[in-house]
């Protein structure tokens, strides 16, 4: 993957007809609050990816918002792409006027839009993004722009399988499970999380809090 932000832009991709801001915000153009700024950045980058024809899906807290989840957006916005498409996606972002940065982590690249961080991810919970994952995405409106969004089940699976002994913040994921519980295939979550101790503990917590029904006993 091209790593220097000053590299040449992809020659076979034309910049979409957008006014995509660079890393420095233009005075007076930022939305009045952080959540709206994140939504504007999401719409802008999503439109760039759609017009360039890339396979992708919105992930993270903005995906939860798109599914009807509640809460204030406070951090960044995340997009999933196939590992083999990461270079072409980076080229499309550069062609649209955005600066692409390659962090030390080898599973994402970053850009900035409306002064908000945007992560372009090609690995979730230590697993590569796959065609099957993106094919299960739902076309949903994000504010006023329709784009593919990871399914509620995939969102919960990825959040649950990311738990470890070093990162196990159930409190951050609990509101997501509560707000999306009617859209999640919980037997599928159990099947895909297997007997891993951290996801199993989280599912047990959801049962005790009456967020989900207990797992049926085998006969």
Residue 181: the pLDDT is: 95
Q: What is the pLDDT of residues 103-119, one digit of tens each?
A: 999 899 999 999 999 99
Q: How confident is the model at residue 22 (pLDDT cuts 50, 70, 90)?
A: very low
CB-count exposure of residue 106 (10 Å: 0-12, 13-18, 19+) = exposed
Q: How confident is the model at residue 29 (pLDDT cuts 50, 70, 90)?
A: low
Residue 33: the pLDDT is: 81
Q: What is the mean pLDDT of residues 22-31?
A: 44
pTM reported for the whole predicted model = 0.82
Lowest mean pLDDT among 40-49, 61-70, 92-101, 178-187: 61-70
Q: What is the pLDDT of residues 157-187, one digit of tens each?
A: 999 999 988 888 999 899 999 999 999 999 9
Q: How confident is the model at residue 94 (pLDDT cuts 50, 70, 90)?
A: very high
Query: Looking at the predicted structure, is the pLDDT value of residue 14 above 80?
Result: no
The overall average pLDDT reported for the chain is: 86
Lowest mean pLDDT among 71-80, 98-107, 175-184, 201-210: 71-80
Residue 194: the pLDDT is: 84
């Amino acid at each position: 993957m091209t790593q220097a932000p000053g590299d040449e832009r992809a020659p076979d991709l034309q910049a979409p007809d957008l006014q995509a801001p660079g890393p420095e915000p233009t005075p007076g153009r930022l939305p009045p609050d952080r959540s709206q700024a994140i939504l504007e950045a999401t719409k802008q980058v999503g439109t760039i990816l759609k017009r360039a024809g890339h396979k992708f899906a919105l992930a993270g807290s903005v995906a939860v918002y798109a599914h009807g989840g509640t809460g204030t957006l406070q951090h960044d916005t995340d997009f999933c792409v196939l590992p083999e498409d990461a270079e072409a996606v980076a080229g499309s972002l550069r062609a649209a006027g955005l600066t692409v940065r390659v962090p030390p982590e080898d599973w994402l690249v970053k850009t900035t839009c409306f002064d908000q961080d945007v992560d372009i991810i090609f690995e979730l919970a230590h697993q590569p993004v796959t065609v099957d994952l993106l094919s299960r995405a739902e076309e949903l409106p994000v504010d006023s722009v329709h784009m593919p969004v990871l399914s509620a089940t995939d969102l919960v699976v990825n959040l649950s399988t990311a738990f470890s002994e070093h990162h196990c913040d159930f409190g951050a994921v609990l509101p997501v499970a509560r707000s999306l519980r009617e859209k999640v295939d919980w037997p599928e979550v159990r099947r895909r999380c297997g007997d891993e101790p951290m996801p199993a503990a989280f599912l047990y917590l959801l049962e005790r809090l009456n967020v989900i029904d207990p797992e049926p006993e085998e006969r």
